[in-house]
A and B are shown apart, each in its own frame.
Chain A
């Protein structure tokens, strides 16, 4: 708990004032009083404005949850600002959080009934962001007394990933649900023409095709395909982060691409009315069950923002339980640098599920190496890893799993159409 203490300025003014009077009296020299009279006055005014308040301060952000790149204000909430003339706020800088003023330092006069100065903060990267500790000091009029500097805990922000630009016009390969936007293989009450067939009991009269009926002397109806929603499972590889993240407006690491692409895919499918599930393969193992709607999307984004990155113990791709049912489209977002992810993907493909891999390794990524490592050795190791990765991707493609690099809108259109065409063909499934 901080208290009001005299400042160095008040001590100096009082000491010089007293010294001036004493010297003037001792040496009988009034010139000294000319020098120190202003100090006596400043000291007296400083003493007269001694505050009696007992401020209790804390910081508060206007928005605790926001998207990366967005900004909010960090307020200094003080119980009693009476007797405070000047406020100093010094916020510690933390990675991936931009502050305004840039260095997080504010020193301002406080007007009557005025709020303490605001600090603008903006998370530049998705994830949980703890604002750094803040040192706060209040100074009384005439700089006689100072409260603090008191150390305040920084607020916590949750930065949701900004949704990468994405759109797709392709339909789900195997829609198997209720009412939705995807053309089903089954006939139903949709708008997509399927065939003209003979009238059956139960057919709607408005479906009768009169021209064909007159020509054939038998009632014929237009049959359509049903339109169903689909389930989409987004699998996020959070085993490691490759590359350096420069935040929302800088270079993207593999995890940046993964998370932003996952957010974009989730939003796209939720808006189309599909049921979307999320499974994070990482040390946290975060999961979001199938669901739809805006609230569900917020849950997915929140889970993406708070996921833990790392490799869990005893990670085996074939043992990972994803809870995938028939008709589910599985989108694996991964740089495919882990054997476990490759095994997991291959297992899903062999089950006959429509699986597609979105390659999220940025083109110009350089690996993070331990300090002191020979750069040539590190470069060689990285090249070998890339060769292995190429082999893994080729094997997945050979299994029938399309692999596409994330490039925003239209990334999935072509592969989804191909998967849809393949879904029409008879298949032999491995069990």
Chain B
């Protein structure tokens, strides 16, 4: 219940709710404002994600943001993708921390510190990928890059599915 939330939980839930919305709105400074209905949809999904951090609704909210970023831009990565990535990572980690226990469980400072460090370290990958993408964009289209990417993605999905199913069966 929301009434049971501790101040720490409130912080986590607000972060979880704001992350996808901010990531979506980050396309606006880049010149492609999101559709109003999409903002409302993502906002609602994000609120549900904050309320139920263990539910798949968070994946839907963040997935909508990711797809919008794919649809909205043509012509290379925008620097605003980096703060958008930060917002998504923050939302994900906040939901992860909130999911460690029931609503009324306080936030353990040591756990919070560990995940802040982890989130910071993992987030560094975003500017790295942006840098690589920017370099590749300047060099023009490399033959076979998307085919290779697709193959890698498929392998990743298959491996992840296998691992997830194995974990569930055990």
Bound: A28/B149 CA distance, A: 10
Q: Contact: A105 with B23, CB < 8 Å?
A: no
With A23-B70, A41-B122 in contact, is A17–B129 under 8 Å at CB?
no
The smallest beta-carbon distance between B130 and chain A, in angstroms, is 5
Cβ-based interface call for B56 (8 A): yes
Q: Contact: A12 with B125, CB < 8 Å?
A: no
Q: Contact: B105 with A30, CB < 8 Å?
A: no
Q: Contact: A35 with B85, CB < 8 Å?
A: yes
Bound: A304/B107 CA distance, A: 42
The closest CB in chain A to the CB of B107 belongs to A107
Q: Contact: B160 with A14, CB < 8 Å?
A: yes
The smallest beta-carbon distance between B109 and chain A, in angstroms, is 10
The smallest beta-carbon distance between A88 and chain B, in angstroms, is 4
The closest CB in chain B to the CB of A108 belongs to B108
With A9-B99, A30-B136, A107-B100 in contact, is A21–B69 under 8 Å at CB?
no
Cβ-based interface call for A123 (8 A): no
Q: Contact: B56 with A11, CB < 8 Å?
A: yes
Within 46-74 of B, Cβ neighbours of A (below 8 Å) are at: 53-56, 58-59, 62-63, 65-67, 69-71, 73-74
Within 245-295 of A, Cβ neighbours of B (below 8 Å) are at: none
Total number of residue pairs linking A and B with CB closer than 8 Å: 189
Q: Contact: A16 with B59, CB < 8 Å?
A: yes
Residues of A within 8 A of B123 (CB): 38
Q: Contact: A31 with B105, CB < 8 Å?
A: no
The closest CB in chain B to the CB of A13 belongs to B92
Cβ-based interface call for A172 (8 A): no
Cβ-based interface call for A74 (8 A): no
Cβ-based interface call for A184 (8 A): no
Cβ-based interface call for B3 (8 A): no
The smallest beta-carbon distance between A175 and chain B, in angstroms, is 60
The closest CB in chain B to the CB of A101 belongs to B106
Main secondary structure, interface of A, reads helix
Q: Contact: A30 with B77, CB < 8 Å?
A: yes
Residues of B within 8 A of A105 (CB): 101-102, 104-106
Cβ-based interface call for A204 (8 A): no
- Select which of B66, B137, B153 is within 8 A of A30 by beta carbon: B137
Interface centre among B62, B73, B129, B157 (most CB of A within 10 A): B129
Q: Contact: A24 with B70, CB < 8 Å?
A: yes
Bound: A4/B129 CA distance, A: 33
Bound: A269/B77 CA distance, A: 88
Cβ-based interface call for A47 (8 A): yes
Residues of A within 8 A of B164 (CB): 6, 10-11, 14
Q: How large is the interface on B (under 10, 10 to 19, 20 to 34, 35 or more residues)?
A: 35 or more
- Select which of B62, B70, B160 is within 8 A of A18 by beta carbon: B160
Residues of A within 8 A of B63 (CB): 15-16, 19
Bound: A194/B156 CA distance, A: 103
Residues of A within 8 A of B62 (CB): 12, 16
The smallest beta-carbon distance between B4 and chain A, in angstroms, is 9
Cβ-based interface call for B45 (8 A): no
Cβ-based interface call for A32 (8 A): yes
Bound: A27/B153 CA distance, A: 14
What is the size, in residues, of chain A's interface with B at 8 Å between Cβ atoms?
57
Cβ-based interface call for B42 (8 A): no
Within 117-151 of B, Cβ neighbours of A (below 8 Å) are at: 118, 122-123, 125-130, 133, 136-137, 146, 149-150
Bound: A36/B69 CA distance, A: 11
- Select which of B69, B126, B146, B156 is within 8 A of A38 by beta carbon: B126
With A34-B81, A35-B23, A42-B122 in contact, is A29–B70 under 8 Å at CB?
yes
The smallest beta-carbon distance between A143 and chain B, in angstroms, is 5
The closest CB in chain B to the CB of A16 belongs to B62
- Select which of B89, B100, B157, B159 is within 8 A of A88 by beta carbon: B100
Within 44-91 of A, Cβ neighbours of B (below 8 Å) are at: 47, 50, 86, 88, 90
The smallest beta-carbon distance between A85 and chain B, in angstroms, is 9
Residues of B within 8 A of A236 (CB): none
Residues of B within 8 A of A18 (CB): 153, 156-157, 160
With A15-B59, A35-B126, A103-B104 in contact, is A21–B114 under 8 Å at CB?
no
Residues of A within 8 A of B170 (CB): 3-4
Cβ-based interface call for B12 (8 A): no
The smallest beta-carbon distance between A275 and chain B, in angstroms, is 53
With A24-B70, A108-B110 in contact, is A5–B168 under 8 Å at CB?
yes
Q: Closest 9 A-B residue pairs measured CB to CB?
A: A21-B153, A30-B133, A23-B70, A31-B77, A9-B96, A34-B81, A27-B70, A8-B54, A14-B160
A-B pairs with beta carbons under 8 Å apart, 17 shown = A7-B99, A8-B55, A18-B153, A19-B67, A20-B66, A24-B149, A25-B153, A30-B137, A35-B126, A36-B66, A37-B128, A38-B125, A40-B156, A90-B102, A107-B100, A108-B110, A109-B108
Given contacts A10-B164, A12-B56, A20-B66, 18 further A-B contacts (CB under 8 A): A4-B167, A7-B54, A8-B95, A23-B67, A25-B153, A29-B70, A30-B133, A32-B66, A34-B82, A34-B126, A36-B66, A37-B125, A38-B122, A50-B167, A90-B101, A105-B102, A107-B111, A137-B101
